[in-house]
Amino acid sequence: MNYLVSKILKFITEQNVISDEKDVQEFYKYGIEISISSFLNIFLVVILGFLIHHVLESVVFLTLFILIRSFTGGYHADTYFRCNLLMCVTFIITVFVNVITSNKLTLPVIIVLICFTEVTVLFLGPIENKNKPIQKSKRIELKIKGLIITLAINCFGIILIESHIGTMIIFTSFLIAILMLAAIIKGKRGDICGRV
């Protein structure tokens, strides 16, 4: 990844698209890395969906993941490889759980999953990424939007609950809440390690 990023950065610098100042180079380097990693995540999940015959679920998973996470934030892996691996593993687990339980979920279980998601978004969101700080004035707005969007998505999941897509929607939003919790735990562990 570093080789590809440096080649792209060198090319756009030589074309005078950006300056060669260190701050500008770092800013664009991070943007290029994120763009490549995001594209790779999307590509890998769709390919996995195709390989395991769950393409529609891969589209649902990616759409919800990108939409909800843009308002709530969440867990970030330490490397791009781990990020890609985590995305693929969580997708496969979500599909697997969905296949096993989609016709067996009771209304109380669905309500618990949705309540857990909403409470997590309410109390933990939005989770800040060290590379992308959130302005204080934006925090409340993002929290409200995150709550409304997850609730609307989960309600849509309830409407479609008779199909495997409805449960996939609910499981994906629940997974995002779990990853938000993981981000908080990782942050606290990092704080403890930093103090030692």
Kindly list the distances between the CA atom of residue 193 and the CA atoms of 22, 28, 82, 129, in Å, as whole numbers in the listed order: 30, 31, 21, 18
Question: What is the SS3 string spanning the chain?
Answer: CHHHHHHHHHHHHHCCCCCCCHHHHHHHHHHHHHHHHHHHHHHHHHHHHHHCCCHHHHHHHHHHHHHHHHHHCCCCCCCHHHHHHHHHHHHHHHHHHHHHHCCCCCHHHHHHHHHHHHHHHHHHCCCCECCECCCHHHHHHHHHHHHHHHHHHHHHHHHCCCCHHHHHHHHHHHHHHHHHHHHHHHHHHHHHHHHC
Query: What is the predicted pLDDT for the residue at 195?
Result: 37
Q: Which pLDDT tens digit goes with each residue over 8-66?
A: 777 778 777 777 787 877 877 878 888 888 899 999 999 999 999 999 999 999 999 99
Do residues 72 and 138 lie in contact, with contact meaning Cβ atoms separated by under 8 Å? no
Do residues 172 and 65 lie in contact, with contact meaning Cβ atoms separated by under 8 Å? yes
User: Buried b / exposed e across 140-158, counting CB within 10 Å, b at 16+?
Assistant: eebbebbbebbeebbeebe
Q: How far apart are CA 48 and CA 62, in angstroms?
A: 12
Q: Which pLDDT tens digit goes with each residue over 68-114?
A: 998 998 887 888 788 889 999 999 999 999 999 877 888 899 999 99
Give the tokens for residue 34.
């994120």
Query: What is the predicted pLDDT for the residue at 22?
Result: 79
Do residues 81 and 150 lie in contact, with contact meaning Cβ atoms separated by under 8 Å? no
Residue-averaged pLDDT of the chain:
86
Residue 157: which pLDDT band, with cuts at 50, 70 and 90?
Answer: very high
Kindly list the distances between the CA atom of residue 41 and the CA atoms of 66, 89, 113, 191, in Å, as whole numbers in the listed order: 11, 11, 26, 29
Query: What is the predicted pLDDT for the residue at 161?
Result: 87
Query: What is the predicted pLDDT for the residue at 196?
Result: 34
